[in-house]
Structure 1
Amino acid sequence: MNHVLAATLLVRALNLIGTFVFALSGAVLGARREMDLFGVLVLAFVTAVSGGIMRDVLIGAIPPEAFSSWHTLAIALIAGLLGFVLYDRLEILRNPVQIFDAAGLGIFAVAGTQKALEYGLNPPMAAILGMVSGIGGGMARDVLTAQVPIVLRTDIYALAALAAALVVIAGHAFGLPPALTDLPGVALCLFLRLMALYGGWRLPSAHRKR
């Protein structure tokens, strides 16, 4: 029972952290697009909750956690305000949106996989659901700002989320506690995304023959 409780608490903590960093990525992008405060807050909230809502609906966790708890809204709004007020400082970072997004991607992929396992999904489907949880927020953010979603480009994005989910699945198969697999999963996802951003790692893309 203690292990189950610890796993549940860890998933909730990861969800809250992921909510914050995803909301921050949305807020920074909204400020970059010169949205007003309301627009930035809306984009921050949508970015923060879209992946979690998709996950909860698919596994039957109704109502979704984003609507059943005030913590998600509060954290998303705080991150949105920080992104709006501190936009100039955050822009000092190279590609701040992508950095925050990479962190959120790994966290939600891991948390989504753990929650899917808790709800009894088989490991392969839990990994896929974890990946969907990770990419949902970034897709919603990009669509609302009229961009082609990162997941549809050659950047290593969905693959990074899937890699994080598979780390969790491997730990589950070997009976390891979540604390020993969740952080390595997030770290692997973050590493893959940073290598895509700064190391030029890309997936092959289709080219039409002329």
Structure 2
Amino acid sequence: MGVVEFFDYAGVALFAATGALAASRKQLDIIGFIFLAAVTGMGGGTVRDLVLDVPVFWVDRPVYVLVCMGVAVLLYFTAHLAESRYRWLLWLDAAALAAYGVFGAYKGLLVSGTPIVAVVMGMLTGTLGGILRDVLANEPSVLLRREIYVTAALTGAGVFVAVDAVGAGMALAACLGFGAAFALRGLALVFDWRLPTYRARKGRHPDRI
């Protein structure tokens, strides 16, 4: 298994784990665990493949479904051992975003051959799973929180594409892309980094904009 393929399986498994942890916070049953794990683990990749008009990865290789199910069942019996499930969720999500963002960029580049498409596919693959998880678990979406999230996925995908373009090798590009995305997201979590937000102009009420 190559480095890029490892990031594919790691992204699915890590996102599935965050879905299962979200299910534990909502005190769902085993089916709820499996459902949230599967949607979170495979949601971003499903949208990516539909946009790229290629066979959906888990339909082509159902082993990914088993990966999500295995992670969900494992956490159903062990999630209570974690001291802070929400903190675990955040850091597992950061790792999943970084890993899956790199693989999404790789697949986008493989299918389209276009760096811009590759970066967008990396961003979609790395973030949509977490967004779907938050919506289904009735948690505040990362898109509505003032956090560096999508930016981290874009950064990782961009670094991967840039390093690969200069001929440094796919494995090195994947590792550097993962490191860039995970570092940015991790530092944002630790130091509460945020991007500047839009401010309404003076004299205009926000409801009238």
* TM-score for the superposition, normalised by structure 2: 0.90
Cα displacement (A) at 1:105:
0.3
CA contact (8 A) 1:105 1:189 kept: yes
Whether 1:25 aligns to 2:18 is yes
SS at match of 1:95: helix
Is the Cα–Cα contact under 8 Å of residues 79 and 85 in structure 2 kept in the other structure?
no
Mapped contact 2:44–2:128 kept (Cα < 8 A): yes
Alignment of 1:119-158 (within 5 A): 119-158=111-150
Matches within 5 A, 1:6-17: 9-17=2-10
Match of 1:69 among 61, 67, 71: 61
- Counterpart check, 1:86 vs 2:78: yes
State the AA in 1 paired with 2:164. Answer: H
Is the 1:30–1:43 Cα contact (8 Å) retained in structure 2? yes
In percent, how many aligned pairs have the same letter?
31
Please list every run of 5 or more consecutive structure 1 residues that lacks an aligned counterpart in the other structure: 1-5
Aligned to 2:107: 115
Deviations 1:15-67 (A, max 9, x none): 111111100011011101111111011000000000100111111212x0112
1:38 and 2:54 are equivalent in the alignment? no
Q: Is 2:4–2:171's contact at 8 Å kept on the other side of the alignment?
A: no
The question of whether the paired residues in 2 share the 8 Å contact of 1:108 and 1:130 is answered with yes
Q: What do the CA deviations read for 1:79-118 (whole angstroms, capped 9, x no partner)?
A: 1112211112234466111111111101111000011111
Q: Report the AA paired with residue 145 of structure 1.
A: A
Counterpart code for 1:170:
A
SS in 2 for 1:201: coil
* Alignment correspondent of 2:51: 58
The structural deviation recorded for 1:12 is 2.6
Partner Cα distance (1:152, 1:172) in 2: 33
Tell me, which stretches of 5 or more residues in structure 2 are unaligned?
none
Structure 1 CA distance for aligned equivalents of residues 169 and 63 of structure 2: 26
Determine if contact 1:22/1:137 at 8 Å carries over to the other structure: yes
The answer to whether the 8 Å contact 2:23/2:32 transfers is yes
> Structure 1-normalised TM-score?
0.90
Counterparts in 2 of 1:73 and 1:91: CA distance versus 1, 3 Å: farther
Q: How many pairs are equivalent?
A: 202
Distance 2:86 2:28 in 1: 21
Q: Distance in 1 between matches of 2:86 and 2:41?
A: 21
- Alpha-carbon RMSD across the aligned residues, in angstroms, is 1.7
Partner of 1:151, secondary structure, is coil
Asked whether the 8 Å contact 1:24–1:82 carries over to 2, the reply is: no
CA distance in structure 1 between the aligned counterparts of 2:95 and 2:48, rounded to whole angstroms: 18
Instruction: Give the match's secondary structure for 1:86.
Output: helix
